Amino acid sequence: MPVSFETSRAAFEDYILLERGQSKNTAETYRRGLELWRAYCEEAGLDPLDVAQEALSSFIRALKSQRRASSSIQLIVAGLRSWVKFRVLNGDLPMGTWIPVLPAKSKKLPKILTEGEIQRILNACDGPSYYDCRDRTALETLANCGIRASELCGLKVGSLNLDDKNLIVLGKGSKERQVPFAEDLKRQFQVYLQKRQEFLDGDETEKMLFLSSRREPLSRVDLWRIVQKRGKMASVPEERLFPHVLRHSIATHLLRRGMDLRTLQEFLGHSSIATTEKYLHFDLELRDVYDRAHPRA
């Protein structure tokens, strides 16, 4: 008996999480992509279980017409591709079924912020409240350490080593790495931890480092809103107001100051140097090179 789209999608999500061991973020990204595919098929009068080549091409054109980023379209099609492979593996589709091909990736260089723009964004957080201090500390952490939005939102108070000026970051694939930070960020963390304690009225039970107004862990959407708000206050163009742009910016600035590619790969937590190569080329120990190269060290 043929399975429904919803049943197949749910089984695929379990497979992604439990058998493939992929992250909840990946599973959620694939789920949203499959929902977009279903909505498109329903509007076009197509069966969402039938991922035909012509239908997929039309779907990709529709996504492009919505001005979606090339990287977003890649992720959506990657989810469809994995889903079709899963259905073949599961016996829901015959061997030899056409497997979706990923569209060509855009070669556009990542947008970056100048050092002056980053400083203006940080200055836009100046103020006496917990939220002013939280926003500056979170944004300075992104700009100083080059970590991903999800990594920042996952930081705990115990992730901080102020003595050694290191962050313990849990990256993609649950890989842990140490990321160094500069003396000025250490001072900012010290100020923030005091403000955080006052905000929580001395409650020591909450372990996450950055908190929302509801005293809950800061989400990626919360972080995006912070970048948007503070960036607009600093009169920075809206198309560059995203958390990952701060990551791209520090990577680019470090390379321009002489950090080699292998060290940058370790600093950013890339599993493959091919991912880092989009920023450029050049070797030495992470802490020594970082202290020499970081624009704000």
Based on the number of CB atoms within 10 Å of its own CB, is 120 exposed (0-12), middle (13-18) or buried (19 or more)? middle
pLDDT value at position 37? 95
| 115-293: in CATH 1.10.10.10 | no
pLDDT of residue 287: 41
Which residues are catalytic, by number?
A: 148, 172, 244, 247, 270, 279
Architecture of the domain made up of 5-89: Orthogonal Bundle (1.10)
pLDDT at 281: 35
Chain CA centroid to CA 275, Å: 14
Q: What is the pLDDT of residues 46-85, one digit of tens each?
A: 999 998 888 888 999 999 899 888 888 888 999 999 999 9
pLDDT value of position 191? 97
Residue 284: per-residue pLDDT:
32
Domain ranges of the chain: 5-89, 115-293
pLDDT (0 to 100) of residue 110: 59
pLDDT at 167: 94
pLDDT score at 285: 34
Q: Which two tokens stand for residue 274?
A: 């091919």
User: CA dist 150 to 46, 198, 235, Å?
Assistant: 35, 25, 26
Helices of type H across the chain: 5-14, 24-44, 53-65, 70-89, 115-123, 130-145, 149-153, 183-199, 220-233, 243-256, 261-268, 273-276, 286-293
Q: Long-range contact list for 86-92, CB < 8 A, 24+ apart? A: 86/11, 86/12, 86/15, 87/8, 87/12, 90/11, 92/2, 92/3, 92/8
Query: Which tens digits make up the pLDDT trace of 81-123?
Result: 999 999 999 888 888 888 888 777 665 555 789 899 999 999 9
pLDDT of residue 130: 97
Which residues on neighbouring strands pair with residue 170, listed in sequence order?
A: 176
Q: Do domains 5-89 and 115-293 have the same CATH topology?
A: no
> What one-letter code names the amino acid at 172?
K
Q: Which residue bears the tokens 């003396």?
A: 183
pLDDT at residue 260, rounded to an integer: 78
Give the per-residue pLDDT at 202. Answer: 79
Flag residues of the chain having pLDDT under 70. 1, 105-110, 278-297
